[in-house]
C-alpha cells in the first residue's frame, strides 16, 4: 500500500500485532488481534483498539483522537495483508464496534480499493447475507480473502 503507516510488530503465530499511534494525545499503544471464529471455512475475527493498561485487553470503544486515523487504519490494513500472507486460505471478518466505525472501515477500503481488489476478494454483510463489496452500499461488516 502506498499510504503512510506505522511500523508494527507481531508474534510468531502472526495473530497479535502492536504499534504505537503518535500525535497530540501522546504515544498510544494499539493492538490488532486475529482470533479464529470458524474452522470450515477458516474465518478469523479482526479485533482492534487501544491497549487498556489496567486489564491488558483491547479497548475498541475508546476514541483516541490522536490526529492520525488514516495512518492507523493503513497500519491495520497492512497487518491484515501480513496475516493473510501467513494464512492465505483464511477469511478475515471485520466490523466496527459502532456503525460509524464500520462506516469508517468502509471508507478505508474504498481509499485503497485500486490496490487491493486485484489480490483480495472483499465482501460486505447486508441484511444477513454476503455481497461482493461495492461503493455506495453501507455494509454492516466485511469479509476479506486472498484470491
In this predicted model, what pLDDT tens digit does every residue of 69-100 receive, in sequence order? Answer: 999 999 999 999 999 999 999 999 999 988 89
What integer pLDDT is reported at residue 56 of this predicted model?
82
Q: What is the rounded distance in angstroms from the CA atom of residue 112 to the CA atom of residue 120?
A: 12
Element spanning 105, H or E:
helix 99-111
DSSP letter, residue 141 = -
Cα torsion 31, 141, 107, 109: sign: positive
End-to-end CA distance of the chain: 17
Output the pTM of the full model. 0.91
What is the percent of the chain with per-residue pLDDT over 90, rounded to a whole number? 79
Residue ranges covered by each domain of the chain: 9-146
Amino acid at each position: 500500500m502506498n499510504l503512510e503507516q506505522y511500523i508494527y510488530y507481531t508474534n510468531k503465530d502472526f495473530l497479535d500485532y502492536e504499534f504505537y499511534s503518535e500525535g497530540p494525545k501522546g504515544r498510544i499503544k494499539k493492538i490488532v488481534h486475529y482470533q479464529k471464529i470458524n474452522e470450515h471455512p477458516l474465518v478469523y475475527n479482526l479485533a482492534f483498539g487501544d491497549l487498556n493498561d489496567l486489564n491488558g485487553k483491547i479497548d475498541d470503544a475508546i476514541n483516541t483522537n490522536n490526529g492520525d486515523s488514516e495512518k492507523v487504519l493503513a497500519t491495520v490494513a497492512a497487518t491484515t495483508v501480513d496475516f493473510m500472507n501467513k494464512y492465505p486460505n483464511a477469511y478475515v471478518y471485520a466490523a466496527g464496534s459502532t456503525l460509524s466505525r464500520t462506516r469508517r472501515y468502509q471508507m478505508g477500503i474504498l481509499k485503497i480499493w485500486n490496490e487491493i481488489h486485484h489480490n483480495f476478494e472483499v465482501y460486505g454483510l447486508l441484511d444477513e447475507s454476503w455481497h461482493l463489496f461495492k461503493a455506495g452500499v453501507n455494509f454492516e461488516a466485511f469479509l476479506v480473502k486472498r484470491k
